A and B are shown apart, each in its own frame.
Chain A
Amino acid sequence: RKEVEQDPGPFNVPEGATVAFNCTYSNSASQSFFWYRQDCRKEPKLLMSVYSSGNEDGRFTAQLNRASQYISLLIRDSKLSDSATYLCVVNGRNTGKLIFGQGTTLQVKP
């Protein structure tokens, strides 16, 4: 089983839609969780950290479910500019390392 798993998609949604991605992780002792955004052929950029209480940044909401070992990202009122690959990142069994999921691709259509 992979340490971090994501549905690669692609998720094709119309502008204005609400879309949600989940990411499961295998290390129950994980403490650090992030969502990064990666545009085509570019470097990943931090979208948001994920806190135990959940957190929101504008149209983006991240949630952590420790019992089921997954994190989620909700995007409301999707924009064309949201089209990208979203990487789920979790600290692995070796706590000095972050493990990156393969990413979920979102394509927002006009």
Chain B
Amino acid sequence: AQKVTQTQTSISVMEKTTVTMDCVYETQDSSYFLFWYKQTASGEIVFLIRQDSYKKENATVGHYSLNFQKPKSSIGLIITATQIEDSAVYFCAMREGGQGGRALIFGTGTTVSVSP
């Protein structure tokens, strides 16, 4: 069965530094998609970045990048040059290929606090 695990409950960093958060997943499928979402204080959930399992290159979008280590079933999120507004809860999620209407399985989230 699918499983997504985020072991870091919370991380505190200073503004303009880099934060890294971990995510480990379990799947029996050879094709899958990995996502990171951000939930703001208002509850809004925003898509950040995606990694397709068949791609070897780490995805990068703006100041978000991924550290995809397929042999370790690991997909870390790296945020560089953090800003106060990066303070949020970050969720890792996974979808197996060919799942039809089944949606994403989410981890438990990592709360990031960015201080000035």
Say whether A and B bind each other. Answer: no
Binding site for B on A (CB under 8 A): none
